[in-house]
Chain A
Amino acid sequence: MQTVKMVVTGPFSSGKTEFIRSVSEIDVVATERKISSDAEKTVKQATTVAMDFGRITVDEDLVLYLFGTPGQKRFDFMWEILSEGMLGFIVMVDSTRPETFREARSILETFRAYAPTPYVVSANKQDAPDAWDVEDMRHALRLDAKVKLLPCVATDKTTVKNVLLELLYSILAEMDGGAK
């Protein structure tokens, strides 16, 4: 029995828990805790304290685990632990909150430093009326044209599947590239 994992990271309240919940076959084990600081409270009431944990069984001997990192900075000691052995990672960005783009960028860089695995960026909450256009976000996030920036609605399984698939295609492409 093999297990592989992917990590879903991104700033506070970007939709990581929701994303994993959409595709996990088990109820996502999230340790949500009531938020303490007032600034964060205006965004939402509960935050993931340690991490979310979702599972997709592939077949008898392969299971994929999705780990969501806690959004709040003060739990970032978990990041390195989580990134160990991951197949790839997804950076969730809340398209409606440009004030979080800089942090998203910094999280992305941190994870890249932990492991040279493929990654994709997910422009989440594209269903919201005030969501930024994906191409505008690419500029704001200073993402190279090579980096996949994918529109997403975390509650919509189709878009979540697409993000996961694009990441897997990147992983596959890298394996092919490395073989040459």
Chain B
Amino acid sequence: MALRGNLRDFTVTQLLNLINLAHKTGTLVIEGPSEVARVAFRDGKLAYAQVGQEDNRLATVLHRSNRLTAGQYNAIIQRAAHVTDKELGLLLINAGYLSQGDILTALQAYFTDVVRRLFTWVEGFFRFENEMMPPEDRINVRLDLENLIIEGARQLREWEQLQDEIPSLDMALKFTERPDTNIQKMNLSVEEWRVVSFINPKNTIRQIGAAAKMGDLEIRRIVYGLLQAGLVEVVRPEGAPPTAQERTRAAAPVQDKEEQKSLVNRLITRIRSI
């Protein structure tokens, strides 16, 4: 039976479970909303992963995991672009820079990270290609899937809970009138700030997610955090879905010049009184 379908019916975690149990060899191709991921397995173990256009060459992976300095990395990119990953790995090992273990650990961490990101994909099509394997010149790893499956299952439960907490992404958010006093203690992440900067009763959660380039799970998780912190509340969106231009105006939704001027004058009076 061809292994293909929709992520809505069959989650990434369930797919991993199946690949693990059936000791499958081949590539799982997932077409998500904005990019395509390819994850290769050998005998039911993770071998290789690639998502979208993301650079997953050995030099880049090693540099990102601080195994190569910026100088070393640049030298490799500029002068050894024609060297394959396998060759580069051997060169680095022979030169005594890194051990085989170092290289495999860095790649494993990267591939695992790709799979973790896939857990947040809840929409998209998948298919398993038995014949397809990563390019010959790339280094593969052999990583048991059990831990990833457990992690995925945990996320799945979280996903179900979040769906209960935030049933619809077509609602909007607004700042609460009196944010909690402990707002100061909140340690917002860059992602949370990204969401905060789009909050406006005219933007639905779905639109905020799209603008901030976040998947459903990610945006739900962040909104849930902001709700818990008392910073925002869920409201019915104002009017029709705004265009980009309207979104700009939404921050200062003033219609005519006189109204605009009165608004600025109110601001002036208020600031003078501080």
Contact = CB atoms under 8 A, between A and B. Distances in A.
B264 A175 contact: yes
B188 A84 contact: no
Determine which residue in A27, A29, A49 has the highest number of CB atoms from chain B within 10 A of its CB, and name it: A29
Contacts, number: 105
A85 B250 contact: yes
Contacts of B264: 87, 168, 171-172, 175
B91 interface: no
A157 interface: yes
Contact of B190 (A49, A87, A178): A49
Interface residues of A, number: 43
B265 A172 contact: yes
Contacts of A86: 251
Contacts of A29: 183-184, 186, 188
Given A5-B251, A82-B197, A62 B263 contact: yes
A147 B111 CA distance: 52
Interface string B188-206: 1110111011101100000
B248 interface: yes
Given A49-B190, A78-B193, A161 B183 contact: no
Contacts of A3: 175, 200, 251
B109 interface: no
The majority secondary structure among interface residues of chain B is helix
Interface stretch (A53-61, A132-140, A148-156): A53-61
A179 B257 contact: yes
B270 interface: yes
Nearest to B270: A58
A89 to B, nearest CB: 13
Interface string B234-251: 000000000000011111
Contacts of B187: 31
Given A2-B263, A49-B190, 5 more contacts: A26-B179, A31-B189, A50-B189, A63-B175, A86-B251
9 smallest beta-carbon distances between A and B, as pairs = A85-B251, A50-B193, A27-B184, A58-B270, A85-B248, A50-B190, A4-B252, A168-B268, A172-B264
